[in-house]
Amino acid sequence: MATFFQPYFLTLLLTLLLFLSSLSSSFTVIMPDSDSGSPSSLIDGPQSGFSLHNAAVRTDPAEQSAVYDIMSATGNYWATQIPDVCGGRWHGIECMPDNHNLFHIVSLSFGSLSDDTAFPTCDATRSTISPSLTKLPHLKTLFFYRCFSNNPQFIPSFLGQLGSSLQTLVLRDNGLIGPIPTELTNLTHLKVLDLHGNNLNGSIPVGFNRLLGLRSLDLSQNKLMGLLPSLGLSNLRILDVSQNLLTGSIPIEIVTCQSLIKLDLSRNRLTGLIPKSIGGLRQLVLLDLSYNQISSPLPSSFRLLSSLEALILKGNPMDCVISNDLFDGGMMSLMTLILSNMGFHGPVPNSLGRLPNLRVLHLDGNHFNGSIPSSFQALRNLNDLRLNDNELSGPIPLPKDTIWRMKRKLRLYNNSGLCYNSQSGVGDVSGSPYNIDIGPCNVP
């Protein structure tokens, strides 16, 4: 199981790194008074991890008043007792000084991700997003996690007024309702936008094309409808719109997102063909199009995805034969291939056995017939193989050590013609606690 989910952990880690990188420019540092007379601007310095407790720190009065409002709106009334919010000490607020040593709020975070990230929690029954956020002109990061789940509300349109500064907006698992406000497309400095796990509806704003610096866009687990817009975002690394109600086809313009490493469009209602242009996403590591209504055939341009480590297409009704050479000459990095329940028939492609790094291969729930290709003997890294519920026959070509290594992750049942050669030693495995559910060949 760990091998199958490895690409998800990798991309989740990348999302976290993108968020943390946006925080890395947000810190409190005490600087001497400047006599330069230059216009007020924020000064860079090392990441502190929290605001420093220092009597010399002086927060911009208007911003301090705004923070009191924002904290009170989430049920954190204790913050109003802190004389200076940047000079105080709590995780979840970050400040930076300008040339006149006046401190400005650059990051606010709410919600407990874990015991180690003690951001202020929210009163989920009455918390709201305060309009006073618009009084923080230097705010770069705004993070709310599980703050409004018991008090459903719309994403406030006034967040679009933070366009001159905001780089990270995370409103994750908050039970938010209604459409994504078009005003968010005014956040032209945005690098990370995460609206995962809400109850948002309506369509994805076409104006997201204006967010040219966007690196991560996660709109997964909502109720978004309509077409997937053509996003010409060359810096985008992560696009996740899984578990929505999107319709139509995958836009061929997806190739313009040249930096993508994760593309997850799974569990929608997408139709049509996988565009050949998808082969132009040379940096792609994970591609998940599972559980849609996508049609055959699989594009030959898949072999151009030289960086791809996980390809997950299960649950699309392809109902076709896979070209025998589809996996030849490319995808040498592929570790996970999931093609379950897709209506494939005909022989299992020989070229699958020439993917040297393959660890997880699921071909179950199809109508493959004939024998398992002898090329599978070369899959020395394979540790999870599902061929069950097909129409395969003949002896299995896998060596005994491979079968022992997979144990219960080798599934061959419901293939009435499959058997093992008694001279291969596989019989010892068949009688083990890890029964492979097939019998010996040529038994009278």
User: pLDDT tens for residues 321-357?
Assistant: 999 999 998 899 999 999 999 999 999 999 999 999 9
Buried b / exposed e along 154-168 (16+ C-beta atoms within 10 A): ebbeebbbbbebbbb
440 φ/ψ angles, rounded to the nearest 5 degrees: -75, 155
> What pLDDT band is residue 434 in, cutting at 50, 70 and 90?
low
Measured at the CA of 372, the angle between CA 366 and CA 376, to 5 degrees, comes to 115
Residue 204 sits in a domain whose CATH number is: 3.80.10.10
Q: Indicate if the pLDDT at residue 4 is higher than 60.
A: no
CA distance 333 to 325: 17
On whether residue 404 sits in a domain, the answer given is yes
On whether residue 377 sits in a domain, the answer given is yes
Closest CA to 364 of 409, 412, 396, 330: 412
Q: Indicate if the pLDDT at residue 205 is higher than 90.
A: yes
CA distances for 241 relative to 89, 196, 325, angstroms: 37, 9, 31
On whether residue 21 sits in a domain, the answer given is no
Closest CA to 64 of 164, 142, 12, 132: 132
Task: Tell me which of 86, 104, 134 is where a domain ends.
Answer: 134
Tokens read off for 90: 């709590």
> What pLDDT band is residue 402 in, cutting at 50, 70 and 90?
confident
Same structural domain for residues 156 and 194? yes
On whether residue 79 sits in a domain, the answer given is yes
The secondary element (H helix, E strand) that includes residue 66 is helix 61-73
For the residues of 362-422, what is the DSSP string, one character each?
E--SSEEEEPPPGGGGG-TT--EEE--SSEEEEE----HHHHHHHGGGEE--S-TEEEE-G
Same structural domain for residues 301 and 216? no
The whole domain housing 100 covers 57-134
Task: Convert the pLDDT of each residue in 136-177 to its tens digit.
Answer: 999 999 999 999 989 999 999 999 999 889 999 999 999 999
Task: Tell me which of 106, 134, 162 is where a domain ends.
Answer: 134
Q: Indicate if the pLDDT at residue 260 is higher than 80.
A: yes
Closest CA to 198 of 226, 173, 178, 234: 173
Closest CA to 146 of 181, 117, 167, 170: 170
> What pLDDT band is residue 371 in, cutting at 50, 70 and 90?
very high
Cβ(174)–Cβ(152) below 8 Å: no
Cβ(184)–Cβ(159) below 8 Å: yes
Measured at the CA of 230, the angle between CA 341 and CA 266, to 5 degrees, comes to 20
Same structural domain for residues 171 and 212? yes
Q: Residue 356's CB: how many other CB atoms inside 10 A?
A: 12
Same structural domain for residues 284 and 239? no
Same structural domain for residues 350 and 240? no
> What pLDDT band is residue 29 in, cutting at 50, 70 and 90?
very low
On whether residue 259 sits in a domain, the answer given is no
Same structural domain for residues 308 and 399? yes
Q: Return the DSSP state at 335.
A: -
Round the average pLDDT of the chain to a whole number and report it.
86
Map tokens 């690394």 to a residue.
Answer: 237
On whether residue 164 sits in a domain, the answer given is yes
How confident is the model at residue 90, as a pLDDT? 84
Same structural domain for residues 225 and 301? no
Same structural domain for residues 99 and 163? no
Same structural domain for residues 191 and 321? no
Task: Convert the pLDDT of each residue in 280-310 to its tens digit.
Answer: 999 999 999 999 999 989 999 999 999 999 9
Same structural domain for residues 286 and 369? yes
CA distance 272 to 317: 11
50 vs 167: which has the higher pLDDT = 167
Closest CA to 58 of 105, 18, 90, 24: 105
On whether residue 15 sits in a domain, the answer given is no
Same structural domain for residues 378 and 284? yes
Domain count, the chain: 3
59: β partners: 103
108: β partners: 93, 142
Cβ(315)–Cβ(342) below 8 Å: yes
Task: Tell me which of 75, 105, 134 is where a domain ends.
Answer: 134
On whether residue 2 sits in a domain, the answer given is no
Same structural domain for residues 328 and 182? no
Q: Return the DSSP state at 3.
A: H
